[in-house]
Chains A and B, each alone.
Chain A
Amino acid sequence: QKEVEQNSGPLSVPEGAIASLNCTYSDRGSQSFFWYRQYSGKSPELIMFIYSNGDKEDGRFTAQLNKASQYVSLLIRDSQPSDSATYLCAVNIGADGLTFGKGTHLIIQP
């Protein structure tokens, strides 16, 4: 069974600190990895994607991928209260399309 696992949280981080969100996946054939942010009552918004091992940075966001460990993470630097949301990890597993994790609820404390 193809699974994407995330800690549901809530994860509470002080404003200005680094928030670290983690995701593991079960299928070694997974090719593409995505992070979506979803505010309460809104639709998911793509914030990062990564395909190759290593780090990918975009502004305050860094995605990290380790295919050997089947692990993908999202770091948010200088966390702001507006970063408070649910973060969904999604993994592309061949023809079956994206499989979403259950999401991590992040709270940035002012």
Chain B
Amino acid sequence: DTEVTQTPKHLVMGMTNKKSLKCEQHMGHRAMYWYKQKAKKPPELMFVYSYEKLSINESVPSRFSPECPNSSLLNLHLHALQPEDSALYLCASSQDRSGVNEKLFFGSGTQLSVL
């Protein structure tokens, strides 16, 4: 299994809603990532978990809350988002965070629209 599975594929939410994005991998990878990508822009790193511990938080607003329940699962909890948060949210995994092993495998993404 060489896939990173993300759900849902599409999400429309209001600014007062609470929702969660989910990500799963069964490649035995020990690093998992959340990226945000706006149209015609490169992916922007949000969070990195390494061995189930949060290792990077790129000054992301607190309305985004990551969670790593185990080495295969990664969640992103969303609350009180703004319309400018509308974007493609990408989950990725890698074997670990040592440079030569940090080959990212991306999920298909969640296209999020905030109304």
Residues on A facing B (Cβ under 8 Å): 31-32, 34, 36, 42-46, 49, 51, 88, 90, 92, 94-98, 100-103
Partner of B42, one of A32, A51, A100: A100
| A31 CB to nearest B CB, Å | 4
Q: Is B13 an interface residue (CB 8 A)?
A: no
Cα separation A34 to B102 with both chains bound (whole Å): 10
Question: Does B48 sit at the interface, judged by CB under 8 A?
Answer: yes
Question: B23 CB to closest chain A CB, in angstroms?
Answer: 12
CA distance A32 to B102 in the complex (A): 8
| Size category, B interface | 20 to 34
Q: Are A45 and B106 neighbours in the complex by a CB distance under 8 Å? A: yes
Cβ distance B22 to chain A, nearest Cβ, rounded Å: 15
User: By the criterion CB–CB under 8 Å, are A51 and B45 in contact?
Assistant: no
Report whether A97 and B103 are in contact in the complex, using a CB–CB cutoff of 8 Å: no
Please, which residues of chain A bring their CB within 8 A of the CB of B109? 42-43
| B42 close to A42 (CB less than 8 A) | no
Give the top 9 A-B pairs by smallest Cβ distance, nearest first.
Answer: A31-B99, A100-B42, A43-B106, A32-B99, A92-B99, A43-B109, A44-B106, A92-B102, A43-B108
Which of A34, A43, A45 counts the most chain B CB atoms within 10 A? A43
Docked Cα-Cα span, A44 to B56, in Å, equals 21
Q: Judging by beta carbons under 8 Å apart, are B42 and A49 in contact?
A: no
Q: How far is the CA of A101 from the CA of B106 in the complex (A)?
A: 17
